[in-house]
Amino acid sequence: MQKLNTTAVYILSIVGFLCCCFYGIGFIASLIAFFIATKELKKLAANPEQYSNGKAMKTAKTVALVALILSGIMAAYTAYQYFALSEEERLEQSIETMESLGVPQEVIDQMRSQAETDM
């Protein structure tokens, strides 16, 4: 019996999870993982007695789908912020986030002064 290539799907899905917070870049890896999983499941459906890990591939496809959805949501949110908010509003959101995370005030002041000279 042969095995379906679940490793590639899992690796791409994990990369999609890890990169989803970086402007939705994980969408690309997750989409590739989902397409690979779909292709492999079609091979399984055509000849189920030839493959031994069909259940693992179904699980891998589910993981890829979840990563795809999360990355898509993050990409949509990033696009919304880019088009709906001005540069000043995005800067203020960044500063508020930095303050809530406990970034030293000197770093925040330096960022604010740099942004003022750029505008």
| Whether residue 94 sits in one domain with residue 47 | no
pTM higher than 0.85, yes or no?
no
| Residues near 108 by beta carbon (within 8 Å), at least 6 away in sequence | 95, 98, 99
Residues 14 and 32 in one domain: yes
| Length of the chain, in residues | 119
79 and 100 inside one domain: no
Q: State the SS3 of 69-118.
A: HHHHHHHHHHHHHHHHCCHHHHHHHHHHHHHHCCCCHHHHHHHHHHHHHH
Q: Do residues 100 and 74 both lie within one domain?
A: no
Q: Are residues 70 and 34 in the same domain?
A: yes
Residues 59 and 93 in one domain: no
Confidence band for 30, pLDDT divided at 50, 70 and 90: very high
The 10s digit of each residue's pLDDT in 86-106 is 888 888 888 888 899 898 998
pLDDT of 17-27, one tens digit each? 898 888 778 89
CB 10 within 8 A of CB 21: no
The count of domains in the chain is 2
Domain range for residue 90?
Answer: 86-119
